[in-house]
Structure 1
Amino acid sequence: MLADTLELREFIKIIYPSFDLHSTAKASGQRVVYFGSFHSRLDIEPNNCDSWGEVVLKISEATSRSSISYLQKEIEILKSMDSDCFPKLFFDEVITFDPLTEEPLNPMRIISIEEKIESQTLTDIIRSYNSEDKVVSFLIEMLSALRLLWGHTQALVHRDLKPDNILVRKDGRLVIIDLGILRQEGVKGVTNSFNAIGPCTPCYASPEQAINDKKNISFKTDVFALGIICYEMLSGKNPFLDGDGEQYFDDILERVCEFQPPPLEIYGASTEFSRIVGKMMSKEPFKRYRTVEILLQDLEALV
């Protein structure tokens, strides 16, 4: 598994000599994420890199067909996006040879460079979304942004919506990041169908992810995760985490599939908003909202 090491930092310095590495993001998934900037541009470096300002440099190892597919999908979608709701992709490349020895790299490494967004993660400020009005506004903005994925020609599903993957700009606007496990509806997956679970973060996963029910992965999977986030905002806790002790992967997923959280009314939400979030978090996908438009209509009626 790729990790932030002196060797990796030296590898980046050889490829991008004028890149000043400022800091490292916390470990997440199969890649290492650095923050930094280019203080100039050499001939071997990307065009205009010295004009990008602060950037996010992501480096991954393509260890399998599925990892290559996910990385390529994220890069492809970010290239096609023209929205402030997602980070801009400046550059990407695949490194197949060691820059020092010129020997083939196995596994090869994939690098992408994105804009650095001045923001905080939702994780850091989730407690400030402590009223129904704020949560409803958050949900409407998230749904509007995600429609760019759900309504894409490839009908994409994020599959890993969680507070760590939502940035809040200084002016309050939201940005969705980490499209690393995007899935296209109705297309054969790249992970093994016999896996017990699908790619996910357990406490923000849907029941269909928990049992790797690929045929039922759709925009409703992301809607379930948004329901969990809204529930957490108003209740102060994730409904599928049990107490403060050690949380086991399988135990969390069992609660996702079996545990029915009490209605949000007990935490002060209105009856109607409690009903909306409850419907978003229905265990069976067919019981959730049939379309995004119907969900937005219900939310806008509250506003």
Structure 2
Amino acid sequence: MFESLFSIDSIALTDAFPDVVFDAKLGEGGQKIVFKAQTQSEGSVAFKIIKTNQQIERTIREIDAASSFSPPRFPQIYRYGDATVADIDVVFIVEQFIEGVSLRKLIDSGPMSEEEVLNIGLDLILGLTETAEKNLVHRDIKPENIIVNEYVGAVLLDFGIARHLDLNSLTQDVAIFGPMTPGYAAPEQINNEKRSISVRTDLFAWGILMYEMLSGYNPFTKSCRTASEAIIRTLKYEPELLQGCNSELSRIISWCMRKQSHRRPPSPNYVYELLKGVVL
């Protein structure tokens, strides 16, 4: 559950964006609200409103990162800008609305078939291959940020905590933890070990997703009552090798979930080539 640090009513939205019809709230975080909306120029869109605060540089990085990618693995960014809503300075992003089902909803329905998991895994690896080519680490690969569309497959959303390896980090060196979602963050991300953050960090989260889709549970959040428990479990617990599925697929997933980043596969493209050889 998300707790918002700011609220925006419908009247304020209409005043700030008279050319937009807001249909429904899709999600909400401490600094961000996402709506499904209709615009005269783009039609059906995902409309993001982000409170800038001291996070304006991260906000701009998110937009720049997301704008550099395109369908089918990522939504199209149509436009963005700044505005004032109810006396709050915000940045807005208008992006392609992806029809489909959240991967979280699919996972919550129970273990998925190996064929479906492999197809989604291949789609996501192709997306991570694109991010790796631009020296970008997404750092928030999780079911809530993935939509599965029946025509194009899995689409990766939200570059809110992405890290561009060619730019200086926005997280203070003295911070105990780096930006993350407990249960999906790699150990080096949890420990804010900036020099160890790489494309292999996203491969760790990809491995967790694959494990969760096949088993129906996240090995690092299962039975945990708090985020702290999930963090400790990620750092200390070694998940059992998946049983009852293709042994080569299970081996690849386990390899991606190694605690030390240098012991994981070298790149998403390397994993992609391995996955193409998996025969179900």
Distance 2:71 2:36 in 1: 22
Q: Aligned partners of 1:2, 1:284: CA distance in 2, in Å?
A: 36
Query: In the alignment, which residue of structure 2 is the partner of 1:286?
Result: 262
Which residue matches 1:47?
A: none
| CA displacement at 1:28 relative to structure 2 | 2.8
Which residue of structure 1 lines up, in the alignment, with residue 227 of structure 2? 249
SS at match of 1:36: strand
1:115 aligns with one of 96, 118, 127: 96
Q: Give 2:219's aligned residue.
A: 239
Q: Does the 8 Å contact 2:111/2:216 carry over to 1?
A: no
Determine which of 58, 66, 73 is the counterpart of 1:85.
73
Corresponding residue number in structure 2 for 1:212:
192
1:94-105 equivalence runs, <5 A: 94-95=82-83, 98=84
2:209 to 229, 234, 238: 229
Question: In 2, are the aligned partners of 1:2 and 1:61 still within 8 Å (CA)?
Answer: no
Give the fraction of aligned pairs with identical amino acids, expressed as a percent: 30
Secondary structure in 2 matching 1:224: helix
1:277 counterpart (249, 253, 264): 253
Instruction: Kindly provide the amino acid, as one letter, of the partner of residue 179 in structure 2.
Output: P
Q: Distance in 2 between matches of 1:172 and 1:220?
A: 25
Q: Give the SS at the match of 1:54.
A: strand
Code of the residue aligned with 2:126 in structure 1: it is S
Give the CA deviation at 1:128. Answer: 6.8
Mapping for residues 1-303 of structure 1, pairs under 5 Å: 2-6=5-9, 9-38=10-39, 50-64=40-54, 67-95=55-83, 98=84, 108-126=89-107, 127=109, 130-152=112-134, 155-171=135-151, 173-185=153-165, 187-243=167-223, 247-265=225-243, 268-303=244-279
Question: What is the aligned partner in structure 2 of residue 42 from structure 1?
Answer: none
Gaps in structure 1 of 5+ consecutive residues: 39-49
**Contact residue 47 and residue 95 of structure 2 kept, 8 A:** yes
C-alpha distance 292-33 of structure 1, shift in aligned 2 (>3 A): closer
Question: What SS does structure 1 have at the residue aligned with 2:219?
Answer: coil
Does the aligned pair in 1 maintain the 2:126–2:268 contact within 8 Å? no
Q: How many corresponding residue pairs? A: 275
Relative distance call for 1:151 and 1:129 in structure 2 (3 A) is: farther
Q: CA deviation at 1:89?
A: 1.3
Contact 1:165–1:177, Cα closer than 8 Å, also in 2: yes
Write the letter of the residue equivalent to 1:261.
Answer: P
Q: Which amino acid aligns with 2:8?
A: T
Q: SS state of the match for residue 270, structure 2? A: helix
- In the TM superposition, residue 254 of structure 1 has moved relative to its aligned partner by 0.7
Residue-by-residue CA offset, 1:249-269 (whole Å, 9 max, x unaligned): 21111110110011002xx12
- Provide closer, same or farther for how the CA distance between residues 295 and 80 of structure 1 changes in structure 2, counting only shifts above 3 A: closer
Greater relative CO (CA pairs within 8 A, separation 6+): 2
Q: How far 1:187 moved relative to its partner?
A: 3.6
Measure, in 2, the Cα distance between the counterparts of 1:235 and 1:128. Answer: 8
The alpha-carbon distance between structure 1 residues 279 and 22, as it changes in their structure 2 partners (threshold 3 A), is same
SS at match of 2:28: coil
Letter in 2 for 1:273: L
2:96 counterpart letter in structure 1: E
Distance 1:287 1:29, change over 3 A: farther
Q: CA deviation at 1:21?
A: 1.4
Amino acid aligned to 1:75: I
AA matched with 1:164: E
Aligned-pair CA distance for 1:294: 2.6
What CA distance in whole angstroms lies between the structure 2 residues aligned with 1:69 and 1:211?
A: 22
Contact kept in structure 2, 1:71 and 1:180, CA below 8 Å: yes
Instruction: Assess if the C-alpha contact under 8 Å between 1:224 and 1:282 holds in 2.
Output: yes
Larger radius of gyration: 1
Per-residue CA distance 1:175-230 (angstroms, 9 max, x = gap): 11011111012543111111111111101111111111111111101100010011
Q: How much has 1:74 moved relative to structure 2? A: 1.8
SS for the counterpart of 2:183 is helix
SS in 2 for 1:247: coil
CA RMSD of aligned residues (A): 2.0
